[in-house]
Amino acid sequence: MPFLTPTVTDERDALATFAGQQIRQVATTLQGLDAEQLRATPSASAMSLGALARHVLFIGEHGAFAALVDPGGSPEAPQDEAGDAAGAILPETVRPGDTADSLRAALHTLADRVEAGLRTADPEARIPVPDAPWFPRDLGTWPARWVALHMVEENARHAGHADILRESLDGRTAYELNALADGRAWSPEG
């Protein structure tokens, strides 16, 4: 069941497994959504499941997380067309062609890439701290281990957001969605 990670064997395996699993948990919440549900903002915030998925993809493809998985990449946080820090969880970040299935596929691809990168990453390697106002200015690098654990923490927070948004949309919970993702019917009695 995707809700639980498989048993891990060592530090790299644990970092890779848990980081990938949290990204996949966000993907799980998108199952069966139509275009309107993907863009709906069922809470007091402007957060939709589509915008949240776009944010997870963004943070996985840019900044320190990307530098961790692809050491040759740029740690700088790119700017959007308006000149603001990109990656905000706003309705306009969902692209016209985005569907629940396309975003799920992109999240699974990201999870695969993150897992592969973390399985070979040196936990002691130094990752440049991106130039962004929310990161410390007096620190030049982080250990890869810290970046990987922060990736787990950041995406776990967003998986929780996604669970709440999905349950607000149609009452479906993480257990049911994970059973469906695993090709099984959901029964609380079972």
Give one word for 63, left, alpha or beta, with left for phi > 0 and alpha for psi -120 to 50. left
Residue 146 has pLDDT above 70, yes or no: yes
| Residues 23, 17: Cα–Cα separation, whole Å | 10
- Give me the mean pLDDT over the 152-179 stretch: 95
Q: What is the pLDDT of residues 93-136, one digit of tens each?
A: 999 999 999 999 999 999 999 999 999 999 999 998 888 788 88
Single-letter amino acid code for the residue at 59: I
Residue 36 pLDDT greater than 90, yes or no: yes
Give the range among 44-58, 84-98, 166-180 with minimum mean pLDDT.
84-98
Position 8 scores a pLDDT of 93
Give me the mean pLDDT over the 148-175 stretch: 95
Instruction: Give the chain's count of helices (H) and strands (E).
Output: 7, 2
Please tell me the distance from the alpha carbon of residue 170 to that of residue 180, in angstroms, as a whole number.
Answer: 15
Total number of residues shown for the chain: 190
Nearest to 73 by CA among 60, 84, 86: 60
